[in-house]
A = this chain, B = another copy of it.
Amino acid sequence: MGASELHYFDANATAPLRPEARAAWLAAEENLWANPASPSAAGSRAAAELEHCRSVLAGCLSAMPEDVVFTSGATEANNAVLAFEAERHPAGAILVSAIEHPSVLEAAQKFWKNRVHLLPVESNGSVSLHALEEILRAHRDISLVSLMAANNETGVLQPWCEAAALARNHGARFHCDATQWIGRLSAKEMGACDYVVGSGHKFGGPKGTGFLKLRAKENVAFAGQVGGGQENHRRAGTVNLPAITGMLAALAAGEREMELLAEEHRSARAAFEQRLRLRFPSAIIHGEGRERLWNTVSVAMPRHGNLRWLKRLERHGFVVSTGSACATADNKPSHVLAAMGCADEVARRTLRISATSATTAEDWRGLAQTLEVVARELDADAEENATGVVLLP
Interface, chain A (partner B; CB < 8 A): 1-2, 6, 10, 13-14, 16-17, 22, 26, 29-35, 37-43, 45, 72-76, 78-79, 101-104, 106-107, 109-110, 199, 201, 206-209, 223, 225-230, 236-243, 307, 310-311, 314, 319-322, 324-330
The minimal Cβ–Cβ distance linking A183 to chain B, given in whole angstroms, is 15
A328 CA to B10 CA in the complex, in Å?
Answer: 43
CB < 8 Å neighbour of A13 from B37, B101, B201:
B37
Q: Would B13 and A321 count as touching, CB distance under 8 A? A: no
Give the nearest-CB partner of A324 in chain B.
Answer: B228
A325 CA to B37 CA in the complex, in Å?
Answer: 5
Given contacts A2-B30, A29-B22, A240-B208, contact A229 B330 (CB under 8 A): yes
CB < 8 Å neighbour of A207 from B1, B103, B243:
B243
Q: Would B107 and A226 count as touching, CB distance under 8 A? A: yes
The minimal Cβ–Cβ distance linking A253 to chain B, given in whole angstroms, is 16
Give the nearest-CB partner of A110 in chain B.
Answer: B226
Task: Tell me which residues across on chain B come within 8 A of A239, comparing CB atoms.
Answer: 207
Task: Tell me which residues across on chain B come within 8 A of A29, comparing CB atoms.
Answer: 17, 22, 206
Task: Tell me which residues across on chain B come within 8 A of A241, comparing CB atoms.
Answer: 207
Given contacts A13-B37, A326-B228, contact A31 B1 (CB under 8 A): yes
Protomer copies: 2
Q: Would B207 and A102 count as touching, CB distance under 8 A? A: no
- 17 additional A-B pairs beyond A13-B43, A75-B236, A207-B238, beta carbons within 8 Å, are A10-B43, A14-B34, A14-B38, A29-B206, A39-B310, A43-B325, A75-B227, A76-B225, A102-B227, A103-B225, A103-B227, A107-B226, A110-B223, A206-B243, A228-B325, A228-B326, A238-B325
The minimal Cβ–Cβ distance linking A377 to chain B, given in whole angstroms, is 17
The minimal Cβ–Cβ distance linking A59 to chain B, given in whole angstroms, is 24
Q: Would A226 and B106 count as touching, CB distance under 8 A? A: yes
The minimal Cβ–Cβ distance linking A80 to chain B, given in whole angstroms, is 9
A329 CA to B228 CA in the complex, in Å?
Answer: 9
A72 CA to B200 CA in the complex, in Å?
Answer: 14
Task: Tell me which residues across on chain B come within 8 A of A320, comparing CB atoms.
Answer: 40
Give the nearest-CB partner of A311 in chain B.
Answer: B41
Q: Would A236 and B326 count as touching, CB distance under 8 A? A: yes
CB < 8 Å neighbour of A325 from B38, B103, B329:
B38
A329 CA to B106 CA in the complex, in Å?
Answer: 35
A43 CA to B14 CA in the complex, in Å?
Answer: 10
A107 CA to B14 CA in the complex, in Å?
Answer: 32
Q: Would A329 and B229 count as touching, CB distance under 8 A? A: yes
Instruction: Jot down 6 A-B pairs with beta carbons below 8 A, ordered by A.
Output: A14-B38, A22-B29, A72-B73, A73-B238, A102-B227, A228-B325
A243 CA to B205 CA in the complex, in Å?
Answer: 13
CB < 8 Å neighbour of A107 from B10, B109, B227:
B227
Q: Would B243 and A103 count as touching, CB distance under 8 A? A: no
